[in-house]
Structures are given as structure tokens and as C-alpha cells.
Structure 1
Amino acid sequence: MTDMISFPDVVNWAVPFFIAAILAELLWITFKGRGGRYETRDALTSLVMGAGNVASGILFGFIAYGLFMLLWRITPFDLGTSLWIVALCFVLDDLSYYWVHRFGHRVRWVWASHVNHHSSQHYNLTTALRQTWTGTFTFMMILRAPLILLGFHPAMVLFVGGMNLIYQFWIHTETIGRLPRWFEAVMNTPSHHRVHHGRNPRYLDCNYAGVFIIWDKLFGTFVPELDEDKVDYGLVHNLGTFNPLRVAFHEWVGIFRDVLQPGLSWRERAQYCLMPPGWSHDNSRGTSEVIKARYVSQHPELAGTPGLPHNPIGQAEKINAAHKNVI
């Protein structure tokens, strides 16, 4: 078993491609008049968020890598670095990403880090760069630990993770419609990921895939893009600001405000951190399930259509009440 294995920093290598693709998309939209929108302040915010993500990686990257190397030293397995092992690592890492991403929408502590990626009301290639500054503090790197313990070298795991991020860059666009059916069936595409960035009730909390959309189909979280329900991008409650500091930290501030409310039990304080976004101890807000249920109660003809439940009127309140019994 060896510690000294290196893989290229593919994300840095891809930066010129990112820049060229953004310029090409901007020119296409400008001259063709379709395929999305660019707003200068919004795009600049995304670029600043991307730069901050790189800086946070430099400052805190040693934490995840140190954990991975510690696990590497205690695992008895070493699968080597053959092409097939790298390919297998890529697939399993994408499965890990699916669960990290799903937790990012279902656990408020993790959502506080991920929410900035959904904060743009536009959907173009700069949106892909709107990345977290606080990912280390969600401790989601622990979901990659099984890969290290199975014998995949930490450098390989980070390499395939970089490849995953590069793949996801190009799917943040409206200039590409639906792709061939066989490709849409297996891979994550702009159509699938547009849905993930929607604030429409039917599009909340779905399509978590990084590269392979098969994970969403396997675990029941897939929702197709519907022509009759055009994607409305952004958050359920949009921020109304381009301030990168607020974009990066607003949900963390919200968590601490909620946790420090007077008169709460310790259980309720923990629930404000660990329950889905929108949970509240007094049912004054709504989780995605509640939003979907209320939407169906207002539009009963849509019950059971993709992304929407068969919930009767009043189910929204039952869901909120059930949430109170968790933790």
C-alpha cells in the first residue's frame, strides 16, 4: 500500500473551458435572443461565489484530505489505480454524491451550505460556479469514507470528484433542450437539472444526481421536465440581494436565530438544525412536502402528476405534525 499517488487537478485544468463556454453561451443568448438570460450582477455574484469556494478549499481542504489519509492508513485494502478501478470509483463516488446532495436538501444544517447554489433566479453556466464556502462544516465528507475503506486511494477519490464537478458544469444551461432519449434515460442532462433548480412545487427536492440520473430513478426522486410547467428558478423565498456574503451565510444566520429563540426545548433546537428546510416548531412555515400538499389541495386536478402527491386537503398539516415527532 502506498500513500504517494497523484492525479491531475482536473478542475483547474478545466477553468479555460469554463470561461470559453460561458462566453459562447452569452454570445448565443445575445445574438439568438433565446436560451436563457444573463444579468450582470447575478453573474458576478456567481463568479465571486466560485472564487470563494476555491479559497475555502485552499483554507480547509486539509480537513477532508487529512481524514481520508487517516482512513487510508487503517484500511487493509488497496484496489490500485487501474483504469477499471478509476471507472468504478467514479460510479461509486457519484452514488455518494447523490446522497450528499439529497442530505443537502433534506437536512437544514447541510442545506445552509448548499442553498447558495440555488439562490440565483437565472439558469446559465455561471450558476454552476455559485458554490458553497462552508461545505467543510457540514461534515458530509464522511459519506466518502466508505470509498477509502474499500481501498480507493484518497487522491483517486478527489480526482473522480473533480471529474464529477466538471460534468455538472455543462448541464447548467437553457441553451440545450432535451437530448436523445437513450442519453436522458441514463445521464444527468440540462433538462433534468433545470428541474432540480426549480422552485415550482412539483420540482422541489428531486433530481439529485450528479452524473447518472439512474440514482434518482432507483431511489424514487426523479421528476421529468414538463412543458406545461415551465421551470421557475430560485428559492421558495428568494433573497432579493446580490451580496455574496448574504448569499453565502444567510441560512446559517437563520439557523442560529431559530435555535436561539427563547422558550424552545432542546429537542426543538436540534430539530431546527436537523429537520428539512422550512420546518418550524409552531408550523408557521412549510417544508417541501407541505408546499406540495397545499399546492395539490389548491389544484386537485394535478394530484398524482409527476412530482406531486395524492394528498387530500389537510394532509399538509398532518405532515408538519408528523415532523414534530422526529428526533
Structure 2
Amino acid sequence: MHIPEIPNLIHYAIPFFIITVLLEVFLTVKVKLKEYEFKDAGTSILMGLGNVAIDLLTKGIVLSLFYAIYHFYHFFTIPFSWWAWVLLVFAEDVSYYWAHRFGHVSRLFWASHVVHHSSKKYNLSTALRQTWTGSFYTFIFWIPLILIGFHPIMVFTQMSISLLYQYWIHTELIQKMPVWFETIFNTPSHHRVHHATNPQYLDRNYAGIFIIWDKIFRTFEPEVEKPIYGLVTNIETYNPVKIAFKEWLTLFTDFFTSKTSIKNKFNYLIKPPGWKHDGTSVLSSDLRKKWENARRK
């Protein structure tokens, strides 16, 4: 199989990220939607730069692992053909949906993903607020694509395309896209819901490129009420190191210091964020149920 050389798209996109963030700052101030919080944006940019630096190491390791898996076993040999790329767009997006969903319902994965939700603002710089630890282990959700027979280079390229697509949806400057687009694709409106802490919006709209998966798996919620961004319990700091590792520290503290059974200790890893062995937790699902009950009344 001839393997074309495909560049790292994220690195080439960095100048575009910088230009568009500056453009959004100008437009936000010009139309006076709200004051632009430069400290918050600066933190997001630093988190993004840290993510790129760490990925220089981890992507080499993960790509080597993908190559090893592909070399020893795969069901089919899928060529670098146009139809294979079309199929991969959807297959990779399903993988992203489940990786993203587990990032919210399992604390082990939330410990890295929480970084992306830690800003109380929502703008293009928020898209750059990325984890420093997730790339070490979240790649497992894409292994099935390698086993099916997609070449590792194809998978990595589509992962980058998905990430680039998701950049533009982190804005409040675009209210709604055309109805047909809102029906099929992930949009700023759909993704604002995902970043919101309003009870009805919690753990909804996990989409990458296509919003159809949320509709199929019943996690879709339309944007109605104005979103309130951030976390249920916010990390009140602009320090990128604290943001990157605070949840990991809390997770390990719960795991090692909780006076409970071994089973419950491991539940701190696999249960949703906010779970406590003594029943004192407040889970996002509980808050959503309270909102749904109040709405019925």
C-alpha cells in the first residue's frame, strides 16, 4: 500500500488560531457583547501551547503503538481511497463521541478533560484550553479503527481534521447556522450547551463534527436558555499548572485517603465526577433530574 506523506495539520493551523482569536477580540469589543477577559484567554493559550509541546512526545508514542497494532492484526486492509476517507469521517466521529462522553461520565477521563471546561468564558481561545495529560491514555477509543483496518496515518489525520473543525464552534458571535446545518452538524449553538452548567445542559451534546450521534444516543439538548459557562464547582485560578493537575490531585486524594472498601476506592476512578462513597455527592445527573422534575411541575 502506498502511504502518502501527510503533514501535522494542527501545527500548520497555529497561525490561523492566533489571527482568528485576535479578530474575535476586536469584534467582541466592537459590538460590545461583553468585556473580553484577557487573563482567561491568556491562560487558555498557554494551556494550548503546553498541549502542543506534550503532543510532540505522546503522538510519536501513540502512532508507534497504532503501527504495531496495525502490523500484527487488522480485519481489513482499507486503502487510501476517497470512499475510505468518507467512511472514516463518520467512523472517527463516532469514536470521538464516545471518548468525549466517557470524558464526562468517568472521573479518570474527566481528570484530563475538565481542563477544557474550566473557563467561565466562551470564545475561540477556549478551544485552545486543552489537556496536558489526556493524550497519554484517551487514544484507546481510536484503537478499534486501527483493528478494523484504517491505516494509523489516516486515523491521525482525521483526528486532526475533527479537532480543527471544533475550533470555530467555540464562539458567541455566531448565534445560529441554517436549519439544515444545525440538524446535521455540530455548531456554536450546540456546543455552547455542552460548555454550560445550567442543569438542563449538563452532560449534553458530545458531538465532534456531527450532532447526529447525540440525537441517536439521546444526549442532545437544544440551546434555549442563555448558557452559564464553567464548572459546577469552578477552579478559581488562572494558573495553567493548577488547572492542568488540580483534578488529578483531588482524585488521588480521594482514592488514597478515603476510609472505604477497595471497590469504592476504584469507584472513585470509574464513577462520574462528584461521586462520593458516603452518598454526599452531587452529580450532574442529579441536578438535571431536579430540573426536569421542577419543569414538570
Please name the residue that 2:284 is paired with: 288
Please name the residue that 2:119 is paired with: 120
Distance 1:220 1:262, change over 3 A: closer
- The question of 1:268 aligning with 2:267 is answered no
Please name the residue that 1:175 is paired with: 173
Q: How much has 1:31 moved relative to structure 2? A: 1.1
Please name the residue that 1:131 is paired with: 130
Please list, as runs of the form range in 1=range in 2, the aligned pairs for 1:1-327 lying within 5 A after superposition.
1=1, 4-34=3-33, 37-74=35-72, 75=74, 77-137=76-136, 139-226=137-224, 229-296=225-292, 300=294, 302-303=295-296
Q: How much has 1:142 moved relative to structure 2? A: 1.6
Please name the residue that 1:312 is paired with: none
Distance 1:296 1:147, change over 3 A: closer
**Equivalent residues of 2:255, 2:265 under 8 A apart:** yes
Letter in 2 for 1:181: V
Q: Which runs of 5+ in 1 are unaligned?
A: 305-327
User: Which aligned runs of 4 or more in structure 1 are off by greater than 6 angstroms?
Assistant: none
RMSD: 1.5
Q: Per-residue CA shift, 1:122-157, capped at 9, x if unaligned?
A: 0000000000000134x2212211111222110110
Letter in 1 for 2:296: A
**Structure 1 vs Structure 2: percent identity of aligned residues?**
47
Q: 1 CA distance for matches of 2:148 and 2:6?
A: 19
Q: 1 CA distance for matches of 2:272 and 2:258?
A: 21
Q: How much has 1:37 moved relative to structure 2? A: 4.5
Letter in 2 for 1:155: I
Q: Per-residue CA shift, 1:133-184, capped at 9, x if unaligned?
A: 00134x2212211111222110110001100000000000000001111000
Q: 1 CA distance for matches of 2:296 and 2:233?
A: 24
Q: How much has 1:46 moved relative to structure 2? A: 0.1
Q: 1 CA distance for matches of 2:6 and 2:221?
A: 36
Q: Which runs of 5+ in 2 are unaligned?
A: none
Letter in 1 for 2:269: C
TM-score computed with the length of structure 2 as normaliser: 0.96
Q: Per-residue CA shift, 1:263-292, capped at 9, x if unaligned?
A: 211011000110001110112221111122
Q: 1 CA distance for matches of 2:113 and 2:35?
A: 23
Q: Per-residue CA shift, 1:88-118, capped at 9, x if unaligned?
A: 1121101100000000000000000000000
**Equivalent residues of 1:90, 1:161 under 8 A apart:** no
**Equivalent residues of 1:37, 1:123 under 8 A apart:** no
